[in-house]
Structure formats: C-alpha cells, structure tokens
Amino acid sequence: MVKTKPNKNDIRYLATQERIEEAFWGLLADRGFQKVTVRALSERSGINRGTFYLHAEDKYDLLSQVEDRMHQGMMGGAAIAPDGSYEDRVPSMVAPMIAGSRFVYENRERVLLLMDDTCDPLFFSKYASKVKAAMLGDIGNLLPEQRYALALMEGVVGSLFGEWVRGGMKETPEEYVSIVLNLAAKLDLPAISYVLPQGQPAKRS
C-alpha cells in the first residue's frame, strides 16, 4: 500500500506541525535533547505516533526542521547578492546582519537550547555555511586559496555569533554588528577578497 503524502500547505497540517514544534521546545527545555522521545513529543502535542511520522522521520529530523526554521530567521529574510567584490557586498550585508542578530536576541533562550553540547553544538557553524552560500551563490570548483579564505570567513561568522550568545548578549544587535564590522576592518578581512570567486577562478602567480 502506497502511503499518501500529506499536503504540507494544508491548514491542519501546519497547525499540527506548530503543535509538534512547541512540544519539542518544551521537552528540550525540560529534559534536554537526549531524553526527548517520539512518544513524549506525540503525547505533549496531543497526536498519535502515526501522525508524528507524517511530519518527521524521528526526533533528529524534527531537530533539523527546527534548526532550518531558526536559520531562516537568522538570515534576516534577505539574500546577499553574490555579485561584486567583498567591499561592494558589505553594505548589502549590514541589514541582514542586524535583522538576523535581532532574531537571535529575541529568541536567545531557544538558541541557547539548540547550541547546547547535548543538542547541536554545531548550530552556528551550520548557520555560517548558509551565510556563505547566500553571499556567494553557486561558486563551483575552488582553488585551495579560495577554499581557505571562505573557511576563514565562515569560521569567523560562526565563532563570533556563538561568543555573543554565550557571553549573555550584553551588546544590542546593532552594537554587536558594529563591533563585528569594526573587527573585520581591523583584521583586514576585506583583503582576502582577492582570492574569492568573482566569476572566474583566481589565477596562480
């Protein structure tokens, strides 16, 4: 018997998905991810296990869905144009950075739950990878210099966000973004843009 795929745009499906995710957040806060079970999720959201499996394969799949939704909010609802040099792209990065930082600030309790060592300590690293993709688009094959430059930028984004959250977010989102941009200027991060892909791979000298 072929299982009928649910309509993920159906109002009832969306309402059930919301209940499941709210149950997930509650259980995550109460007992930690390791002790979250499909049975507990089903009971707390008021559905049976069969209905749960229409929404997620298991708790890890549900975690991935929740993280994707959080990352979308952190992206600031805007894609960064991949055209132009790093310096050209900085102005287009500021608004999404501030919007994303505000989202993290407003959802800091949930962000802390996700980035806990018992849940997903790579939460911000995954976010940084998505930022890189939004900045550069389809970049194809990279030379070693390009790969390392991108890894540096990716690591900086994830590490700074994590440090801000773990430090208690003493700075406002606007202050945090200002500090990040000032640090980038002092460290001369724009100088590495010469190895970033700009249509054609950088040539070796």
81 with 147, same domain? yes
Residue 111 lies in a domain: yes
Q: How far is CA 40 from CA 7, 27, 44, in A?
A: 25, 8, 6
Contact 173, 102 (CB under 8 A): yes
15 with 49, same domain? yes
What pLDDT does 205 receive? Answer: 38
Residue 200 lies in a domain: no
- Give the whole-angstrom CA distance, residue 187 versus residue 152: 12
168 with 83, same domain? yes
What pLDDT does 127 receive? Answer: 86
Residue 88 lies in a domain: yes
81 with 182, same domain? yes
Residue 200, SS3? strand
85 with 45, same domain? no
Other beta carbons less than 10 A from residue 55's beta carbon = 20
In 32-143, which residue ranges form alpha helices assigned H by DSSP? 38-45, 49-52, 59-74, 86-106, 108-115, 123-136
What pLDDT does 89 receive? Answer: 55
26 with 109, same domain? no
What pLDDT does 171 receive? Answer: 94
147 with 116, same domain? yes
Host domain of residue 51 = 11-56
Q: What is the pLDDT along the chain (205 residues), one digit of tens a residue?
A: 445 677 878 899 999 999 999 999 999 999 999 999 999 999 999 999 999 999 999 999 999 999 999 999 888 655 555 555 555 555 566 777 788 899 999 999 999 999 998 899 999 888 888 877 776 655 556 677 767 777 777 777 788 888 999 999 999 999 998 888 788 777 665 544 444 444 433 333 3
What one-letter code names the amino acid at 29? A
Contact 167, 203 (CB under 8 A): no
Residue 45 lies in a domain: yes
Q: Residue 34: give its domain's CATH number.
A: 1.10.10.60
Residue 87, SS3? helix
Residue 185 lies in a domain: yes
19 with 94, same domain? no
Structural domain total, the chain: 2
- Give the whole-angstrom CA distance, residue 79 versus residue 101: 15
Residue 1 lies in a domain: no
Dihedral pair phi/psi, residue 47, rounded to 5°: -130, 170
110 with 185, same domain? yes
State the pTM of this model.
Answer: 0.78
What pLDDT does 181 receive? Answer: 79
133 with 177, same domain? yes
Residue 204 lies in a domain: no
133 with 180, same domain? yes
